[in-house]
Amino acid sequence: MRVCFVLLQFRRLIGTRRFTTSTNRLASSQESARLDFRAIDAKWQRRWADQSPARKQPKTSRNSYILPMFAYPSGSLHMGHLRVYTISDVIARYRRMRGDQVLHPTGWDAFGLPAENAAIERGIDPAVWTEENIAKMKHQLKSMNTSFDWDAEISTCSPSFYKHTQSIFLKLFSRGLAYQAEALVNYDPVDKTVLANEQVDNNGLSWRSGALVQQIKLRQWFFRITAFKEALLRDLDYLSEGNKWPDRVISQQRNWLGRSTGARIQFSLKDEAGMATPVHVFTTRPDTLFGVKYIALSMSHPLVQQLAAKNPELLRFLDRRASFTSDTKEGFELPLLAVNPLSQTLGLKEESLPVFTAPYVLEDYGEGAVMGVPAHDSRDLGFWKLHRPSDPVTMVIAPEKRDMEAIHVLPNHLPEAYTNHGVLTSACGPYAGMDSGDARLKIVEDLQKHGLGGPFETWRLRDWLVSRQRYWGTPIPIIHCSTCGAVPVPEKDLPVVLPQLDSSIKGRMGNPLDKAEDWVTCNCPKCQGPARRETDTMDTFVDSSWYFTRFPDSQNETELFSQDSAASMLPVDTYVGGVEHAILHLLYARFIYKFLCTEGLVPGEQGQQEPFQRLVAQGMVHGKTFSDPDTGRFLLPGELDVNGENMVIRLTGKSPNVTFEKMSKSKHNGVDPSVAIEKFGADALRAHILFAAPVSEVLQWDEEKIVGIQRWFGRVNRLVADLVEQGLQGRVDLSSLDVDKLTDNDASVLLLTQDTSKNISHTFSNDIYGLNTAISDLIKLTNGVHNVGIKNLTKRVAHQAVSALLKMMAPITPAFAEECWEALTENGKIESIFNSPWTGDIISPEQESALKARQRCIVCAVQVNGKLRFTAKVPSAKSRETAGSDRAARDAEILEAVLSTEDGRIWLTQKNDWEKRKRVVVVGDGKVLNVVF
């Protein structure tokens, strides 16, 4: 009803000649405070639905592939999604307006545990559950005013997609990069099933049965990512050049790869019978060898396993494995004694050191064994304090030469380990007084001479365990034959399709594939003998490690993608996503891309074989959280009352504590994007998301601030309505504009528009992290034009400024910009704002510099002996670097300018004698000059 009323009013205002688009939802200038955002969204979503942005693209030489990380189809978007998709949509829409051929696709990371859990618990087919969720979320994505190329949509659980996941597996297999090996898995002895890490709680108990989870060895499939470790590390340099990727992500990748250079040192471990076994440790600090107090072995070290066979107490300790945290100081002393290799190299008296097994020693890092140096390593110190509180530790490194005296201290008297480098103390025999760096080399060299050690490099990176004993994932395309071993499924037989879950499988534990007898039984492709299918499926990270290569040609039935499409669109230009994926997903994607490069399937030069040329890592969205100041308990919205400006706790009347924290159910601080879209409209949300925090930082979600954005929209709307009221102009052309004839108002608005346009273009193309300031620039422009007033501007200048503003807003607030644009378009020639060229420069560089020069002047009224004689242009105070700082200099500047004009010469030097002036007064910083002769 209200809309109709507004329209009537609107038509009356502007006459019926132009305004016949009866669906226009813009309110008139008086009504702008209450724009019907939802109606505007709905109208444009309907129009856009008819025209997939991809199909409408003009062919240009510039291809832009803009990709947000795809979503897990949980059933509803969360605020993090809203943030990612807003950012990528702004970039994509801008690039399209700029004339690029843009690919902006998305899809669904659709395999994984929640669907399978729904199947087990509620008997729902995971495929159906997933499909329904996808439909819901796709609808939500559209309601955000996004512009995705839905033609290219993919879903990792569809056989047409996972056929290629399988073919990549086979390519890796044929190169020896996919292999089977024994590995520890979490095993639930009650449900008799393997559990994912997420299914084991902090106490090491199964999420479902509550049983103590065991770790058992199983044959598992691995991808040999370590074969690419050097390239994965080296090419981080390429990504950090020119800030292609954020530094933070690069350093996380570097840490994960974790190349560490040090030494491998051999200790001799003697058992109770005096039998010696050599054991190697990896250390980065051979210079601390004189400070070694004990040796610690990992719990799966072969020596420990051997001892456990006849030591029930040790076995019990090892069984508690799953319950140890990574920073535990626990340990178990073994019936062994260690001898420091120094005693051999230096012929010193043999000193026996205790040997432990300790959970803090990682089984698959270095040698799975460490030399414990409590004085110089904090974890070792913590361990020693617990196990040998009365055995002093030896300081073998001192910060400076003058503290070289060796010190022996009780561990509890040492507040922290000295972990820096320095000088070796007098405890270090022949090496005393040497610098840490030199001593390191020398000690390793001496050990090497005796065959007791040598330089060693180790990496943190492990091969990628891709096997999952689950149903809802890509089946591993391998057939096990008792004669031929593991045989790849022939390419022509791909995809290996998941069997339908029948009702007998639903609700059961374990991997349903194990029980799908019809599916498992098959013939060996090599010898045709009876064989069994592999029942493991792949980690869902495998799906997401290559999905982005599929979008450019996602409907290709036969190949992964055609060579043409790969060559023209890959790699991805800009990848947008949450920092929480900064390590694993990106590392796996980089690995698979490098592999596909070596296979010649995707483009990339040596040293630059990277899938994502630019990475935009956005921060998290935190929710406003209320808690009770007395108890710390998180409060439900219903427990709060609004008391005037303030919130109070209903029960106690006290003010709650307000913080911003990661959204979660337990903190009652979640925000449902759909509800927010309903409430504020998608465009206001989009603008708010971008405005409220820089892209890389945490966004503190506070809806109270959205009003500000809505007010801004209202002001823009008023400008448009005022313009319409003035009577529209067709296409405006400012090229013939004579800058000197412009009014001051025109000049200032044109310059402001030009400046804003430059800033915005720069942000959209090169500085996405500055989107928040882009919005404030747009608000400033709106206010600038608003303060001058449309009616105080020349028509074409006003039109140019407002249309430029709308175009710059369009990528951010697409429906609102379209709506305003439509109002400005001559009847019958409605053309989407996204089909009009990007603003770029509003005026030519010459016009701009002329305007700037003009702006730098003010008009000075010159009075001679009390009478106004003439006016002269003088520099404005603002244009000077010394603005306001030096009065005398400012006066001199004005005088000089006045004297240099024609009128100035006549009135001050010809009609009067300048040398005979009595008084010269500058008034109003140059607005008036008084000269008395």
Q: How far is the CB of 362 from ligand ANZ (least distance, A)?
A: 4
Closer residue to ligand ANZ in complex, CB, 365/870: 365
Tell me whether residue 288 or residue 839 sits nearer to ligand ANZ (CB atom). 288
> CA–CA distance from 668 to each of 191, 686, 736, 859 (Å)?
33, 23, 60, 62
Q: Closer CB to Zn ion, residue 185 or residue 481?
A: 481
| Residues touching Zn ion, count (CB under 5 A) | 7
Across the strands, what pairs with 457? 261
DSSP string covering 828-888: T----GGGSPP---SS-HHHHHHHHHHHTEEEEEEEETTEEEEEEEEE-GGGSTTTTT-HH
Which partner from the list ligand ANZ, Zn ion, none does 28 bind, CB cut-off 5 to 8 Å by kind?
A: none
Point out which residues pair with 64 in neighbouring strands: 102
Q: Using the rule CB under 5 A, is 524 a contact of Zn ion?
A: yes
Of 416 and 645, nearer to ligand ANZ (C-beta) is: 416
The least distance separating ligand ANZ from the CB of residue 255, rounded to whole angstroms, comes to 9
Which of 80, 112, 359, 368 binds ligand ANZ (CB under 6 A)? It is 368
Among residues 320 and 532, whose Cβ is nearest to Zn ion?
A: 532
User: Least distance in Å: CB of 492 to Zn ion?
Assistant: 18
Q: From Zn ion, ligand ANZ, none, which one binds at residue 526 (CB under 5 to 8 Å depending on kind)? A: Zn ion
Question: Of 371-379, 644-652, 906-914, 916-924, which segment contacts ligand ANZ by CB under 6 A?
Answer: 371-379
Contact 904, 862 (CB under 8 A): yes
Restricting to residues 276-295, name those near ligand ANZ by CB under 6 A.
282-285, 288
Sequence-distant (≥ 6) Cβ neighbours of residue 523 within 8 angstroms: 529, 530, 531
| Residue span binding ligand ANZ (CB under 6 A) among the ranges 336-344, 370-378, 716-724, 766-774 | 370-378
Q: What angle do CA 723, 726, 728 make, to 5 degrees?
A: 70
> CA neighbours within 13 Å on the CB side: how many for 171?
16
Query: How many C-beta atoms surround the C-beta of residue 456 within 10 A?
Result: 20
Least Cα distance to 279 among 345, 362, 217, 366 occurs for 366
Q: Does 520 bind Zn ion (CB under 5 A)?
A: no
**Residue closest to 169 by CA, chosen among 596, 658, 455:** 596
Q: 374 or 512: whose CB is closer to ligand ANZ?
A: 374
Given Zn ion, ligand ANZ, none, residue 366, with its beta carbon under 5 to 8 Å by kind, binds ligand ANZ
User: In this structure, what token pair is assigned to residue 756?
Assistant: 């804003």
* Distance in angstroms (rounded) separating the CA atoms of residues 583 and 568: 28
How many of the other CB atoms lie within 10 Å of CB of 696?
A: 14
- Contact between residue 665 and residue 25 where contact means Cβ atoms under 8 Å apart: no
Q: Which does 282 bind (CB under 5 to 8 A by kind): Zn ion, ligand ANZ, none?
A: ligand ANZ
Report the partner that residue 523 touches, choosing among Zn ion, ligand ANZ, none (CB closer than 5 to 8 A by kind): none
> From Zn ion, ligand ANZ, none, which one binds at residue 727 (CB under 5 to 8 Å depending on kind)?
none
In the set 370, 615, 723, 775, which binds ligand ANZ (CB under 6 A)?
370
Q: Is 366 in the site for ligand ANZ (CB under 6 A)?
A: yes
Query: Binds 283, which of Zn ion, ligand ANZ, none (CB < 5 to 8 A, cut-off by type)?
Result: ligand ANZ
By CB under 5 A, tell whether 484 contacts Zn ion: yes
Per-residue mark of binding to Zn ion, 440-479 (x: CB under 5 A): ----------------------------------------
Sign (positive or negative) of CA dihedral 401, 405, 411, 413: negative
- The pair of structure tokens assigned to 129 is 């559950």
Residue listed under structure tokens 């040998």 = 388
- 298 vs 813 by CB, closer to ligand ANZ: 298
Interface with ligand ANZ by CB under 6 A: which range of 340-348, 372-380, 593-601, 676-684?
372-380
Shortest separation between residue 174's beta carbon and Zn ion, angstroms: 17
Which pair of structure tokens corresponds to residue 827? 């009847």
Q: Cis ω on the peptide bond leading into residue 571 (within 30° of 0)?
A: yes
Select 351 or 903, whichever has its Cβ closest to ligand ANZ.
351
With beta carbons less than 8 A apart as the criterion, state whether 748 and 797 touch.
no
Shortest separation between residue 197's beta carbon and ligand ANZ, angstroms: 19
Considering the complex, what minimum distance in angstroms separates the CB of residue 399 from ligand ANZ? 14
CB 296 within 8 A of CB 361: yes
Give Cα separations from 533 to 482, 515, 517, 588 (angstroms).
12, 12, 10, 26
Q: Which range in 184-192, 362-370, 426-434, 790-798 contacts ligand ANZ by CB under 6 A?
A: 362-370
Q: Which is nearer to ligand ANZ, 77 or 361 (CB)?
A: 361
483 binds Zn ion per the rule CB under 5 A: yes
CA distance 340 to 359: 23
- Number of alpha carbons in the 13 Å side-chain half-sphere of residue 871: 7
CB atoms within 10 A of CB 278: 11
Nearer to ligand ANZ, 177 or 361 (CB): 361
Strand (E) or helix (H) holding 259: strand 259-271
Report residue 925 as tokens: 């910083």
* Number of residues binding to ligand ANZ, judged by CB under 6 A: 17
For residues 339 and 277, the answer to whether their CB atoms sit within 8 Å is no
Q: Which does 334 bind (CB under 5 to 8 A by kind): ligand ANZ, Zn ion, none?
A: none
Lateral strand order in the sheet of 699-701: 657-662, 621-627, 699-701
Instruction: Round to whole Å and give the CA distance between 808 and 806.
Output: 5
Please give the backbone phi and psi of residue 109, each rounded to the nearest 5 degrees, phi first.
-85, 75
Spatial contact of 385 and 411, defined as CB atoms under 8 Å apart: yes
User: Largest Cα–Cα distance of the chain, in whole Å?
Assistant: 122
**Structural tokens at position 378:** 């904090």
Nearer to ligand ANZ, 120 or 303 (CB): 303
The C-alpha atoms of residue 488 and residue 521 are separated, in whole angstroms, by: 15
Name which of Zn ion, ligand ANZ, none residue 361 binds, using a CB cut-off of 5 to 8 Å depending on partner kind. Answer: ligand ANZ
Question: Which residue in 127, 184, 181 sits closest to 157, CA to CA?
Answer: 127
Query: Cα 641 to chain center, whole Å?
Result: 37
**Contact with ligand ANZ (CB under 6 A) among 98, 376, 387, 667:** 376
Residue 765 binds which of Zn ion, ligand ANZ, none (CB < 5-8 A, kind-dependent): none
Choices 84-92, 368-376, 658-666, 800-808; region in contact with ligand ANZ by CB under 6 A = 368-376
Compose the 749-788 pattern: x for residues touching ligand ANZ by CB under 6 A, - for all others.
Answer: ----------------------------------------
Q: Does 377 bind ligand ANZ (CB under 6 A)?
A: yes
38 or 526: CB nearest Zn ion: 526
Interface with Zn ion by CB under 5 A: which range of 83-91, 309-317, 484-492, 877-885? 484-492
Candidates 317-325, 422-430, 517-525, 863-871; binding stretch for Zn ion (CB under 5 A): 517-525
Binding-site partner at residue 130 among Zn ion, ligand ANZ, none, CB < 5 to 8 Å by type? none
By CB under 6 A, residue 260 contacts ligand ANZ: yes
Output the smallest distance, CB 351 to ligand ANZ, in A: 17
Q: What share of the chain is helix, strand, coil (3-state, %, to 5)?
A: 45, 20, 35
- In this chain, which of 82, 144, 318, 371 binds ligand ANZ, going by CB under 6 A? 371
DSSP state of 433: T
Q: Which of 270, 526, 532, 873 binds Zn ion (CB under 5 A)?
A: 526
The only residue of 481, 501, 785, 851 in contact with Zn ion, by rule CB under 5 A: 481
Binding site for ligand ANZ (CB under 6 A): 260, 282-285, 288, 298, 361-362, 365-366, 368, 370-371, 373, 376-377
Binding site for Zn ion (CB under 5 A): 481, 483-484, 524, 526-527, 529
